[in-house]
Amino acid sequence: MEEALEAQKENPKKILMDAYTEWCYPCKLMDKNTFGNPQVAAYINKNFYAVKFNAEGDEQVTYKDQVFANPNYDPARAKRRNYQHDFAKALKITAYPTIVFFNEQGDVIAPIPGYHKPAQMELFLKMMSKDDYKKLNSPEAWEEYQKNFKPTFED
């Protein structure tokens, strides 16, 4: 995360953070099926700084001059459910996987929980990269946006 925030200073791009856990099967499927999709990977690499974050891991994260850790992390539980990282708590992550989008200044735009196939992920990638999310100020606007979106990525 720190590398992406530093890179933004010279080349402003949004950040896409994949918050996962070691035990999360949908996280592994999303890695394989969605992030492993060449169209998804190419779009992310062109438009975002990609960050993987173990939401139950033990690494320290510095964000907005605050250091986040996982003081309750238990190494004996590294491959199973562990304690949630303080950064995940600060981002209000309640499900895995969750994709968190940050703007070019490193501010949180939105967390998007759940598994998404490539065509489903395309909607969020394009909505965020093109700043369309700024126009979606009601449930009706969101419904209309989804209805009119035509995915081009293959699942």
Long-range contacts of 100-106 (CB under 8 A, 24+ apart): 100/16, 100/17, 100/19, 101/14, 101/15, 101/16, 101/17, 101/128, 102/14, 102/15, 102/16, 102/17, 103/14, 104/8, 104/12, 104/13, 104/14, 105/8, 105/12, 106/5, 106/8, 106/15, 106/63, 106/64
Residue 78 has pLDDT above 90, yes or no: no
- Band (pLDDT 50/70/90 cuts) for residue 138 is very high
Going along the chain from its start, the domains and CATH numbers come out as 2-118 (3.40.30.10)
**pLDDT interval class at 112 (50, 70, 90):** very high
pLDDT score at 133: 96
Model-wide pTM > 0.75: yes
pLDDT at position 27: 98
As a whole number, mean pLDDT of residues 127-146 equals 96
Whether residue 144 is predicted with pLDDT greater than 90 in this model: the reply is yes
pLDDT, the chain, mean:
96
pLDDT of residue 155: 82
User: Is pLDDT above 90 for 45?
Assistant: yes
